[in-house]
Amino acid sequence: MTHSHPSAKQQSTDRPRSVEGTILQRSGVVIVDKPAGMTSHDVVGKMRRIMGTRRVGHSGTLDPMATGVLVVGVERGTKFLAHVVTHDKRYEATVRLGASTLTDDFEGEVLAEASPEALHALTEQDIRDAFAAQIGEIMQRPSSVSSIKINGRRAHELVREGHDVVLPERPVTVHSLEVGEVCLVSDANSDSPHWSATISVHCSSGTYIRSIARDVGDALGVGGHLTALRRTSAGPFDIAESVTLEQLAEAPQLSLSLDEVMARCFPVRDITQEQAQDLSLGKWLAPVGLTDVHAAVAPDGKAIALLKEKGKRAASVFVARPDGME
């Protein structure tokens, strides 16, 4: 028997979960609302201290300037996250049109600035149309300061060493892009005239919002970069259930237990207690005609393993509860 798990909104995430207890009781994920100015690795370092374990890791890196959803695995949850692919993500961002930068965000060196005449010649509709052209299946060149590797080195490391890095375009999907407020900023308090636009983006994993800002600026002939970026969801994990590092320091807790997160991220295959024992020992089960990976859940609600059927076997790709572990 297979079924889908209730959505995040239907689950109770109000009850605090102590980080005390056995390894399995301490295993799961925390949906952190990352603050600006920290790397994702910095967050992991703080979480190790807060949760009292070295076994902490994250999925889906966020730039230091960005805030929002960062999914952090704890204990066995760290190994589990390696099997989770968050196919779609949502962001809210502010784009400044009128200057291009080395990093495609406000932290980078300014490479070129548009003239006031060029900026005043633009209309709000021009800008909305340029953003609309980014919707759909598009070819996108990742930002040069991304974490993509070139011959074993990350692109951003090469850029900071002075190398000229241009990454090849690759296909991404922008499911939707909504433009909010668009305004021309040219008052005395501003360092230079520019257009500002707020956008909400739903996109495939691997899409760079900085690249959208850059490409819209290029299309309009004035340059563009990000001034703010917030991830509001990553796959089934939403900002509404996130917690800050300050809240966690005050009351360390998991957002989702290992049982809950496995059943949220994968369709469920219900198994018997005897089958659960077999899986915990590393044995395989008979296939039942399922495609893709499923979470094998015992009658008591405990998620035992992730299963993938191949030929005459339904074998484990991850065992959450190895025999003898509590």
Active-site positions read 63
Classified as helix, coil or strand, 283 is coil
Tokens encoding 40 = 């994702």
Tokens encoding 164 = 């000229």
CB 302 within 8 A of CB 25: no
**How distant, in Å, are the alpha carbons of 47, 49, 80, 81, 153 from that of 74?**
9, 12, 9, 9, 28
Tokens encoding 46 = 């703080």
Residues 6+ apart with CB under 8 A from 42: none
Q: Give residue 281's identity as a one-letter amino acid code.
A: L
CB 318 within 8 A of CB 73: no
Residues 6+ apart with CB under 8 A from 323: 277, 280, 281, 282
